[in-house]
Structure 1
Amino acid sequence: MDKSHLLIVLSAPSGAGKTTLCHNLLAVDAHVSRAITCTTRPPRRGEEHGRDYYFLTEEDFAQYVARGEFLEHATVHGHRYGTLKKEVLRHFEAGKDVLLNIDVQGAATLRQAAASDPQLSASLVTVFLITGSLTELESRLRYRNQDAPEVIQRRLAAAREEAAHWKDFDYLIVSGTMSEDLHCLQSIVVAERLRSTRARPPRW
Structure 2
Amino acid sequence: MHFLPFSPQREMRGSITFKIVPSYRSQSMSCEIYVRAQFEYDPAKDDLIPCKEAGIRFRVGDIIQIISKDDHNWWQGKLENTKNGTAGVWHVIAMEKTKQEQQASCTWFGKKKKQYKDKYLAKHNAVFDQLDLVTYEEVVKLPSFKRKTLVCLVSAHGVGRRHIKNTLITKHPDRFAYPIPHTTRPPKKDEENGKNYYFVSHDQMMQDISNNDYLEYGSHEDAMYGTRLETIRQIHAQGMISILDVEPQALKILRTAEFAPYVVFIAAPTITPGMTEDDSLQRLQKESEMLQRTYAHYFDQTIINNEIDDTIRLLEEAVDLVSTTPQWVPVSWVY
Q: Residue deviations 1:132-169, cap 9 Å, x none?
A: 358779249xxxxxxxxxxxx7x888656434335131
> Is it true that 1:28 corresponds to 2:171 in the alignment?
yes
Which of 75, 89, 100 is matched with 2:233 structurally?
89
Which of 289, 302, 325 is matched with 1:172 structurally?
302
1:15: Cα distance to partner? 0.5
Equivalent residue, structure 1, for 2:157:
14
Contact 2:267 2:288 in 1 (8 A): no
The code of the aligned residue for 1:126 comes to V
**Which is worse superposed, 51-60 or 29-38?**
51-60
Larger Rg: 2
Identity %: 19
Measured in 2, the distance between the counterparts of 1:130 and 1:105 equals: 17
Equivalent residue, structure 2, for 1:150:
none
SS at match of 1:165: helix
1:63: Cα distance to partner? 1.6
Structure 1 residues 178 and 156: alpha-carbon distance in aligned structure 2, compared to 1, 3 A threshold: closer
Structure 1 residues 4 and 50: alpha-carbon distance in aligned structure 2, compared to 1, 3 A threshold: same
Equivalent residue, structure 1, for 2:267:
130
Q: Residue deviations 1:99-157, cap 9 Å, x none?
A: 1111112123323xx2xxx343xx211111011358779249xxxxxxxxxxxx7x888
Q: Residue deviations 1:61-88, cap 9 Å, x none?
A: 3221112322x22559999764322101
Mind listing any 5+ residue stretches in structure 2 that lack a counterpart?
1-144, 272-276, 328-335
Structure 1 residues 91 and 128: alpha-carbon distance in aligned structure 2, compared to 1, 3 A threshold: same
Measured in 1, the distance between the counterparts of 2:291 and 2:246 equals: 12
Measured in 1, the distance between the counterparts of 2:165 and 2:309 equals: 12
Q: How many residues align?
A: 171
**Which is worse superposed, 127-136 or 89-98?**
127-136
The code of the aligned residue for 2:294 comes to H
The code of the aligned residue for 1:177 comes to E
1:96: Cα distance to partner? 0.8
| Root-mean-square deviation over aligned CA pairs | 3.9
Equivalent residue, structure 1, for 2:321:
191
1:4: Cα distance to partner? 4.1
SS at match of 2:309: helix
1:170: Cα distance to partner? 0.8
1:56: Cα distance to partner? 6.2
Structure 1 residues 96 and 75: alpha-carbon distance in aligned structure 2, compared to 1, 3 A threshold: same
Structure 1 residues 130 and 4: alpha-carbon distance in aligned structure 2, compared to 1, 3 A threshold: closer
Q: TM-score under structure 1 normalisation? A: 0.65
1:59: Cα distance to partner? 4.2
1:52: Cα distance to partner? 5.1
1:172: Cα distance to partner? 0.5
1:12: Cα distance to partner? 1.1
Mind listing any 5+ residue stretches in structure 1 that lack a counterpart?
141-152, 198-204
Alignment of 1:69-108 (within 5 A): 69-70=213-214, 72-73=215-216, 82-108=226-252
Measured in 2, the distance between the counterparts of 1:39 and 1:163 equals: 30
Which structure is richer in relative contact order (CA contacts within 8 A, separation 6 or more)? 1
Q: TM-score under structure 2 normalisation? A: 0.42
Structure 1 residues 171 and 40: alpha-carbon distance in aligned structure 2, compared to 1, 3 A threshold: farther
